């Protein structure tokens, strides 16, 4: 097999160097535009339509056709097969140049194998392999698994975001994968939604900053053999679903779209993202997959997006079979393409129906050409024509290399949030010699999070393993509660409660279950939405019974969505929110518990008290709590956006503005002094918020406009500077005109969004 590939590869390279028979598209020195036009002019309609279509890989089909029923296909967004269409058909179609892309190909061997068919096709147009490399290329085994996006966001570390994306790109290319369906730049505003963990949280500014660096890390200029294509997704609004469930309708005003949901997408386009995925959901009555306003007017018209739009999983089909705005599948394809869709994820009917639509004169061939141009441009820029394969021998030198593992560890250390600490942390290994560890996430690979496959045990440090490594002098007693929060054994709970009495301290590692290989059994992740946000199963009982031992009990959470752990927040002395901290998450958690690492992360999303509080966001409008909930129910969150503790203390003072009055196009400099007043070195995330005091339309009570991650040695002070530029003050007025309005603005700076910890100053725009 390898020999065949090498022969094809060498043949390919020779012919491409010569650019034989005037074939400009095979000449790597020719401008990309010329190559695209030359190739397009040689393509049949069928080949063009094929470039716009994606298929799941052969191994994926084999695995699923054995276990899946046809009726499941409509509702499953992770697994598929094509009834009546075999792996042989896939190979043949690829060999005839009728498939432009594959997804869910999980091994280099299969990627090279499928590519070898494309290389036999008439025009030898390589396929582009797409994969959900959301936090590392974790869906495919033997790759570095970084912390999930929400954990990364809590680090507020844009440099780390870029580094992770860069390393992921290298590992992907080492597997012949060229396109990641990330970053997910949706602004998450509903904790019931199972996909919160794959977002960068609730704040448009933070999501934008992390999203932009992620795009840049993946793509660079899209012209090196280590670059991959980024995909900003899902456009748009699905992160505020009406009932919290994935893909349910969204009803959002244009103002909310433009102020909250669009900015990270627009910034992603400006950062160079060359692909975008539309959202499952309908938006204000129109499915996103047939939404001309979104795909054509806003994306291409206003933002000048030059890349291609890909549909989400079977969502063009859902225009017909779910949303029912097209009477049949062919009509759904028609509507989607005419609204601006470029590539279909995924399936067998596209080629025939779309070709017919063109032949019938309903879709102009020029419209097809537009899409194919965009797709080919990316393939040329990524160098796929010159490098259609990846080398198996080189692959494992790059994947999981020590440098990447180190990044995964450092990122986990930076993203774990210390929510509560009444002085018990960091743990004293001499005082607490016997420690009971229990809970569903104590010794499980679930720390890898959604979009990860099970890894080899030696590639993962579970939390229990981390504790044993970091505190070798401590005697850890472990009561296994199994992985499944929904099926916990009351006897095991009782056993933990009993053994807690013999311990000096207890650590309960609770949370959600997210691994997608147990698709229907998990409690968090894609398509795993919940109607409440408390701990599932016997986990509360476990915590309460263990704590009833009278021994100090601390809680570590592993989850994607915020959890309203009210009882623990009131009764336990310490809570650590680890999210899904990745392959070395167990080590990072243990290092934080034992004080080898001083925690620095801050919440990128509000933790509500309960599901009934939703929507609970920090940047709400002024009237949100004019009439709070009845007196016995809180109207405040459990933990606010931006909150996160450290083992040292910081003093904020001397907030100064360079101006007290500016013109509409003027800027204001902000400075403040932050001092590490404790006895440990630390990293502090300094946050800058703004409020427009009076405005012609209602404005949020505060909005994050900047932040800085600063390292401060014990006793050290630093002056932090920000600049408030006009774009940070502007908003859409009553007529939806974007601009800065005269009046007073309040500048707030501090360690979290909580009002009481913020320093405040004002300035006026004349
Ligand atoms: C998800 C996308 C993902 C795609 C391919 C869909 O179900 O919504 O985010 O990229 O599947 O795996």
CA of 642 to the centre of ligand 1 (A): 29
Spatial distance between the Cα atoms of 645 and 631, rounded to a whole number of angstroms:
28
Closest by CA position to 601, among listed 681, 685, 692: 685
Q: Whose CA is nearest to atom 7 of ligand 1?
A: 77
Spatial distance between the Cα atoms of 38 and 32, rounded to a whole number of angstroms:
10
State if residue 102 touches ligand 1 by the CB under 6 angstroms criterion: no
Which residues does 377 contact at the CB level (< 8 Å), separation at least 6? 32, 33, 36, 274, 306
The full 3-state SS of 571-605, as one line of letters, equals HCCEEEECCCCCCCHHHHHHHHHCCCCCCCCCCCC
CA of 531 to the centre of ligand 1 (A): 22
Q: Which residues of the chain have pLDDT under 70?
A: 1-21
Strand bridging mode 417-421 / 344-345 = unpaired
pTM reported for the whole predicted model: 0.97
Which residues does 23 contact at the CB level (< 8 Å), separation at least 6? 38, 42
Atom of ligand 1 nearest to the CA of 198: 9
State if residue 315 touches ligand 1 by the CB under 6 angstroms criterion: no
Spatial distance between the Cα atoms of 573 and 555, rounded to a whole number of angstroms:
9
Q: Give pLDDT tens digits for 418-450.
A: 999 999 999 999 999 999 999 999 999 999 999
CA of 318 to the centre of ligand 1 (A): 14
Question: What DSSP character marks residue 304?
Answer: -
Distance, C-alpha 634 to centroid of its chain: 30
User: 119 in the Ramachandran plot: left (φ > 0), alpha (ψ -120 to 50) or beta?
Assistant: alpha
Active-site hit among 312, 444, 524, 692 = 312
Q: Whose CA is nearest to atom 6 of ligand 1?
A: 313
Spatial distance between the Cα atoms of 526 and 246, rounded to a whole number of angstroms:
7
Buried b (16+ CB within 10 A) or exposed e, 51-61: bbbbbbbbbbb
State if residue 692 touches ligand 1 by the CB under 6 angstroms criterion: no
pLDDT value of position 283: 98
State if residue 527 touches ligand 1 by the CB under 6 angstroms criterion: no
Q: For residue 312, indicate whether it is catalytic.
A: yes
Q: Whose CA is nearest to atom 11 of ligand 1?
A: 313
Spatial distance between the Cα atoms of 25 and 42, rounded to a whole number of angstroms:
10
CA of 317 to the centre of ligand 1 (A): 14
User: 449 in the Ramachandran plot: left (φ > 0), alpha (ψ -120 to 50) or beta?
Assistant: left
State if residue 451 touches ligand 1 by the CB under 6 angstroms criterion: no
Atom of ligand 1 nearest to the CA of 77: 7
Which residues does 288 contact at the CB level (< 8 Å), separation at least 6? 234, 235, 236, 237, 238, 278, 279, 280, 281, 282, 294, 315
Query: Phi/psi at 434 (nearest 5 deg)?
Result: -115, 115
From first CA to last CA, the distance across the chain in angstroms is 72
CB of 388 within 8 A of CB of 137?
no
Spatial distance between the Cα atoms of 622 and 308, rounded to a whole number of angstroms:
39
Spatial distance between the Cα atoms of 138 and 460, rounded to a whole number of angstroms:
12
State if residue 483 touches ligand 1 by the CB under 6 angstroms criterion: no
The full 3-state SS of 678-734, as one line of letters, equals CCCCEEEEEEEEEEECCCCCCCCCCEEEEEEEEEECCCCEEEEEEEECHHHCCEECC
Spatial distance between the Cα atoms of 296 and 309, rounded to a whole number of angstroms:
10
State if residue 695 touches ligand 1 by the CB under 6 angstroms criterion: no
**Alpha-carbon separation of residue 397 from 225, 384, 572, 691 (angstroms):** 15, 21, 45, 50
User: 97 in the Ramachandran plot: left (φ > 0), alpha (ψ -120 to 50) or beta?
Assistant: left
Pocket test for ligand 1, best of 101, 181, 245 (most atoms within 8 A of CB): 181
Which residues does 627 contact at the CB level (< 8 Å), separation at least 6? none
Pocket test for ligand 1, best of 312, 314, 527 (most atoms within 8 A of CB): 312
**Element housing 412 (H / E):** helix 402-415
CA of 114 to the centre of ligand 1 (A): 21
Closest by CA position to 409, among listed 647, 666, 590: 590
Spatial distance between the Cα atoms of 158 and 311, rounded to a whole number of angstroms:
28
Length of the chain: 766
**Alpha-carbon separation of residue 356 from 47, 584, 590 (angstroms):** 13, 52, 60
State if residue 350 touches ligand 1 by the CB under 6 angstroms criterion: no
Spatial distance between the Cα atoms of 375 and 295, rounded to a whole number of angstroms:
16
Query: Phi/psi at 686 (nearest 5 deg)?
Result: -90, 130
The order of strands in the sheet holding 759-765 is 661-662, 759-765, 743-750, 682-692, 703-712
Diameter of the chain by CA atoms?
83
CA of 311 to the centre of ligand 1 (A): 9
pLDDT value of position 11: 40
CA of 144 to the centre of ligand 1 (A): 20
Strand bridging mode 682-692 / 743-750 = antiparallel
CA of 312 to the centre of ligand 1 (A): 6
284: cis peptide before it, omega within 30°? Answer: no
Atom of ligand 1 nearest to the CA of 246: 8
CB of 483 within 8 A of CB of 444?
yes
Spatial distance between the Cα atoms of 427 and 424, rounded to a whole number of angstroms:
6
CB of 199 within 8 A of CB of 186?
yes
Spatial distance between the Cα atoms of 26 and 220, rounded to a whole number of angstroms:
23
pLDDT value of position 410: 98
pLDDT value of position 20: 58
Number of Cβ atoms within 10 Å of the Cβ of 163: 19
CB of 523 within 8 A of CB of 513?
yes
């Amino acid at each position: 097999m390898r020999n065949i590939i090498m022969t094809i590869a060498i043949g390919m390279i020779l012919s491409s160097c010569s650019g034989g028979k005037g074939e400009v598209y095979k000449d790597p020195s020719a401008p990309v535009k010329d190559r695209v036009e030359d190739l397009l002019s040689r393509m049949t309609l069928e080949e063009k339509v094929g470039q716009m279509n994606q298929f799941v890989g052969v191994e994926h089909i084999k695995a699923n056709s054995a276990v899946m029923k046809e009726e499941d296909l409509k509702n499953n967004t992770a697994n598929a097969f094509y009834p009546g269409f075999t792996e042989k058909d896939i190979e043949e179609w690829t060999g005839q140049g009728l498939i432009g892309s594959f997804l869910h190909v999980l091994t280099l061997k299969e990627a090279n194998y499928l590519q070898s068919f494309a290389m036999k096709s008439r025009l030898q147009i390589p396929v582009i392999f797409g994969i959900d490399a959301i936090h590392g290329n974790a869906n495919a085994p033997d790759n570095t698994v970084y912390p999930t996006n929400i954990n990364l966001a809590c680090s507020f570390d844009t440099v780390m975001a870029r580094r992770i994306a860069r390393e992921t790109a290298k590992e992907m290319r080492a597997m012949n994968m060229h396109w990641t369906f990330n970053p997910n730049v949706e602004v998450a505003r509903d904790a019931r939604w199972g996909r919160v963990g794959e977002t960068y949280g609730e704040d448009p500014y933070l999501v934008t900053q992390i999203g932009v660096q992620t795009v840049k890390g993946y793509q660079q200029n899209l012209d090196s053999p280590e670059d991959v294509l980024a995909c900003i997704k899902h456009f748009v609004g699905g992160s505020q679903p009406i009932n919290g469930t994935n893909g349910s309708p969204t009803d959002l005003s244009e103002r909310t779209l433009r102020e909250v949901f669009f900015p990270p997408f627009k910034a992603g386009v400006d950062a160079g993202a060359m692909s975008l995925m539309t959202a499952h959901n309908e938006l204000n009555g129109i499915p996103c997959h047939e939404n001309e306003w979104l795909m054509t007017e806003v994306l291409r018209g206003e933002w000048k997006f030059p890349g291609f739009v890909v549909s989400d999983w079977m969502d063009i089909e859902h225009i017909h079979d779910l949303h029912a705005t097209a009477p049949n599948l062919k009509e759904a394809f028609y509507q989607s393409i005419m609204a601006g869709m470029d590539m279909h994820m995924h399936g067998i009917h596209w080629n025939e129906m779309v070709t017919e639509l063109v032949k019938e004169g309903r879709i102009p061939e020029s419209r097809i050409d537009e899409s194919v141009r965009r797709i080919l441009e990316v393939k040329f820029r990524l160098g796929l024509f010159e490098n259609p394969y990846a080398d198996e021998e080189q692959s494992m030198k790059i994947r999981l290399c020590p440098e990447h593992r180190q990044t995964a560890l450092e990122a986990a250390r930076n993203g774990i949030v210390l929510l509560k600490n009444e002085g018990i942390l960091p743990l004293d290994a001499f005082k607490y010699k016997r420690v009971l560890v229990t809970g569903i996430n104590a010794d499980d690979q679930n720390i890898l999070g959604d979009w990860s496959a099970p890894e080899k045990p030696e590639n993962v440090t579970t939390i229990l393993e981390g504790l044993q490594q970091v505190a070798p002098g401590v005697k850890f007693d472990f009561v296994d509660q199994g992985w499944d929060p929904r099926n916990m054994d009351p006897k095991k709970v009782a056993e933990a409660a009993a053994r807690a009495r013999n311990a000096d301290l207890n650590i309960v590692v609770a949370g959600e279950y997210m691994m997608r290989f147990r698709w229907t059994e998990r409690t968090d992740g894609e398509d795993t939405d919940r109607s409440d946000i408390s701990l599932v199963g016997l986990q509360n009982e476990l915590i309460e019974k263990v704590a009833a031992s009278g021994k100090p009990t601390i809680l570590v959470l592993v989850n994607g969505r915020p959890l309203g752990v009210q009882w623990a927040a009131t009764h336990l002395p310490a809570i650590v929110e680890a999210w899904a901290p990745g392959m070395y998450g167990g080590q990072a958690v243990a290092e934080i518990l034992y004080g080898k690492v001083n925690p620095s992360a801050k919440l990128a999303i509000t933790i509500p008290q309960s599901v009934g509080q939703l929507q609970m966001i920090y940047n709400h409008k002024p009237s949100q709590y004019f009439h709070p909930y009845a007196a016995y129910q809180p109207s405040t969150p459990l933990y606010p956006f931006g909150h996160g503790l450290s083992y040292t203390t910081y003093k904020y003072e001397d907030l100064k503005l360079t101006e007290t009055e500016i013109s509409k196009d003027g800027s204001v400099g902000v400075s403040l002094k932050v001092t590490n007043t404790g006895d440990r070195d630390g990293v502090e995330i300094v946050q800058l918020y703004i409020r427009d005091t009076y405005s012609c339309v209602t404005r949020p009570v505060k909005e994050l406009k900047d932040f800085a991650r600063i390292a401060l040695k014990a006793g050290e002070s630093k002056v932090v500077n920000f600049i408030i530029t006009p774009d940070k003050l502007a908003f859409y007025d009553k007529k939806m005109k974007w601009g800065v309005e005269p009046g007073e603005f309040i500048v707030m700076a501090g360690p979290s969004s909580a009002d009481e910890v913020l320093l405040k100053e004002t300035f006026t725009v004349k």
